[in-house]
């Protein structure tokens, strides 16, 4: 098992960039990947523009182990993800016979129009990401997994794909509420971070229920012993503050 | 006035990529920029890693008119945005005298530690993004605007910066609920999109209050006449469905 498996996410959609739709997929995928031992390293959001999708996809897929895309696989003219992915990989694209077959069972002839058939267009060599409850499948080609933009469908697709993903040693995480202002603990926290190189220590300020500035501290490591040592140092530092 | 002014957003923070914190800034900035006539073209989310921040920032700032960053300007060791931005621009960084002066008024000597002074580190040549209610300022250097990650502070910073931004002709938008399945309107909608090249027509499926598949259609254009013509065609197409 490799220690670290990395991922990138590519969100495709004008509606996210215009602010009309607020993305809910980034946070879900981020948490999901963390839980199964894959490190999400980068997210990009691009418009429904073929050149932008191809450029972002090619940059990401060369850099990370897996790329997850969301959006742009529906039946309308602005759904251009499948064609863009095919071009990024330099492969052809055509109506996938299994998908067409399923559509024939599901739709009457009058409903099986050009638009709906568009959802059966799958790049050559891709595997389908499908289930009985998903009408338009996602697909997997190379290290790229193409999913729907509608959160409930995307989430179902993640569940289908997850068991097939190679995963690394899971990043472990512990957090503590500091009951202190970030500025009061920043100096000793830096020393703890420097003394514990195989951990990541994050500091997140927030306003607590009394409206006072407070801080959550999060220690992360793949090594449970190193996590324990670093969190011990953080706890000791916080206890010393109260004296 | 230029017709189109573009922007990129760079979200900086391990906590977004781990899924621990769900980003609320992308959607806010997207909507804000749309409302003031700036086109958000791309978003990237990167970790608290200097090389990643610099690479993303340099890619974005060469491509778009404005870049907005969020996160990483607090007092702790994981706040490395200011240093990364200085390196991306190849300029020095030091404690800004105005910020230090304000901190001296605000904090007692015992509180003005190395961590808090870190928030006064501003790249050489940058202008401050500040107000009486913002403790740690953001800054503006070249075409890059560096803002806090805490949503309420980031939002206050957008309000300070917005009047100074060059803006383009505002993208106008109208939407209509189709009361139809996306697959039933995809074919005629494509024809309307092709016939109305200076508009963008988006199709967004959703489940309506009866649980039925439904679709929102959005027509966008900078030209009110072209918007009206395209939306008229969409309305006509929808009316024809019902006959």
The torsion defined by the Cα of A183, A187, A190 and A195, in degrees rounded to 10, comes to -150
Q: Is any Cβ of chain B less than 8 angstroms from the Cβ of A62?
A: no
Q: How far apart are CA A223 and CA B46, in angstroms?
A: 23
Span A43-65, pLDDT tens digits? 999 999 999 999 999 999 999 99
Across-strand partners of A67? A8, A144
Q: Which domains are assigned to chain A?
A: 6-164 (3.40.980.10), 172-242 (3.30.70)
Nearest 5°: the CA angle A179, A185, A190 is 140
pLDDT at residue A3 tops 50: yes
Span B206-242, pLDDT tens digits? 889 998 999 999 999 999 999 999 999 999 999 998 8
Span B100-139, pLDDT tens digits? 999 999 999 989 999 999 999 999 999 999 998 898 999 9
Q: Is any Cβ of chain B less than 8 angstroms from the Cβ of A184?
A: yes
Mean pLDDT of A107-132: 94
Mean pLDDT of A16-30: 97
Span B145-157, pLDDT tens digits? 999 999 999 999 9
What is residue A172's predicted lDDT score, i.e. its pLDDT?
Answer: 93
CA dihedral sign, ordered A224, A236, A194, B99: positive
Task: Report which secondary-structure segment, H or E, holds B192.
Answer: helix B182-195
What is residue A1's predicted lDDT score, i.e. its pLDDT?
Answer: 46
Mean pLDDT of B35-57: 97
**What is the percent of chain A with per-residue pLDDT over 90, rounded to a whole number?**
92
- Is residue A190 within 8 A of residue A184, CB to CB? The reply is no
Min distance A175 CA to chain B CA atoms (Å):
11
- Is residue B146 within 8 A of residue B123, CB to CB? The reply is no
Mean pLDDT of chain B: 95
What is residue B2's predicted lDDT score, i.e. its pLDDT?
Answer: 55
Q: How far apart are CA B164 and CA A213, in angstroms?
A: 31
Q: How confident is the model at residue A133 (pLDDT cuts 50, 70, 90)?
A: confident
Chain B residues with beta carbon closer than 8 angstroms to that of A174? none
| Of the partner residues B32, B45, B114, the one whose CB lies closest to the CB of residue A43 | B45
Q: Output DSSP code: residue A169.
A: S
Range with the poorest average pLDDT among B55-64, B109-118, B154-163: B109-118
CB contact under 8 A, A30 and B40: no
CB atoms within 10 A of CB B194: 10
Q: How confident is the model at residue A232 (pLDDT cuts 50, 70, 90)?
A: very high
Q: How confident is the model at residue A150 (pLDDT cuts 50, 70, 90)?
A: very high
Mean pLDDT of A190-216: 94
- Is residue B220 within 8 A of residue B202, CB to CB? The reply is yes
- The two structure tokens encoding residue A19: 């602010």
* Order of all β-strands in the sheet with A172-177: A172-177, A213-221, A200-207
Q: How far apart are CA A190 and CA B114, in angstroms?
A: 10
What is residue A242's predicted lDDT score, i.e. its pLDDT?
Answer: 80
Residue identified by tokens 């901190």 is B103
Interface test with B, best of A6, A20, A148 (most B CBs within 10 A): A20
The CA R_g of chain A, rounded to the nearest whole Å, is 22
- Is residue B227 within 8 A of residue B221, CB to CB? The reply is yes
The whole-angstrom distance between residue A132's C-alpha and the CA centroid of its chain comes to: 24
Measured in degrees and rounded to the nearest 5, phi and psi for residue B157 equal: -70, -40
What is residue B112's predicted lDDT score, i.e. its pLDDT?
Answer: 93
Q: How confident is the model at residue A243 (pLDDT cuts 50, 70, 90)?
A: confident
CB contact under 8 A, B184 and A76: no
What is residue A10's predicted lDDT score, i.e. its pLDDT?
Answer: 98
pLDDT at residue A135 tops 90: no
What ipTM was assigned to the predicted interfaces of this complex? 0.94
CB contact under 8 A, B15 and A204: yes
Chain B residues with beta carbon closer than 8 angstroms to that of A183? 75, 107, 111, 113, 115-116, 119
Mean pLDDT of B5-17: 97
Q: How far apart are CA A144 and CA A66, in angstroms?
A: 6
- Is residue A12 within 8 A of residue A52, CB to CB? The reply is no
Helix or strand or coil: residue A219? strand
Helix or strand or coil: residue A88? helix
Q: How far apart are CA B73 and CA B84, in angstroms?
A: 11
* Winning range, highest mean pLDDT, from A167-176, B21-30, B102-111: B21-30
Q: How confident is the model at residue B1 (pLDDT cuts 50, 70, 90)?
A: very low
């Amino acid at each position: 098992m490799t220690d670290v498996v990395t991922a990138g996410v590519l969100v495709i959609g004008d509606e996210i960039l215009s602010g009309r739709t607020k993305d809910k997929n980034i946070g879900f995928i981020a948490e999901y990947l963390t839980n199964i031992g894959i490190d999400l390293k980068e997210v990009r959001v691009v418009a429904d523009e073929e050149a932008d999708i191809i450029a972002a996809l090619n940059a990401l897929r060369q850099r990370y182990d897996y790329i997850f895309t969301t959006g742009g696989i529906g039946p309308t003219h602005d759904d251009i993800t499948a064609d863009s992915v095919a071009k990024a990989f330099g492969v052809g694209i055509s109506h996938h016979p299994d998908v067409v077959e399923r559509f024939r069972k599901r739709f009457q002839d009058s409903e099986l129009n050009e638009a709906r058939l568009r959802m059966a267009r799958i790049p050559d060599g891709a595997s389908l990401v499908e289930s009985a409850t998903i009408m338009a499948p996602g697909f997997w080609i190379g290290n790229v997994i193409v999913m729907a933009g509608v959160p409930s469908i995307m989430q179902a697709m993640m569940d289908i794909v997850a068991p097939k993903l190679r995963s690394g040693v899971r990043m472990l995480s512990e957090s503590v509420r500091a009951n202190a202002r970030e500025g009061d603990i920043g100096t000793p926290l830096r020393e703890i971070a420097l003394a514990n190189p195989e951990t990541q220590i994050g500091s997140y300020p927030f306003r607590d229920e009394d409206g006072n500035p407070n801080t959550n501290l999060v220690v992360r490591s793949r090594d449970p012993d190193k996590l324990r040592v670093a969190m011990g140092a953080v706890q000791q530092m916080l206890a010393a503050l109260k004296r």
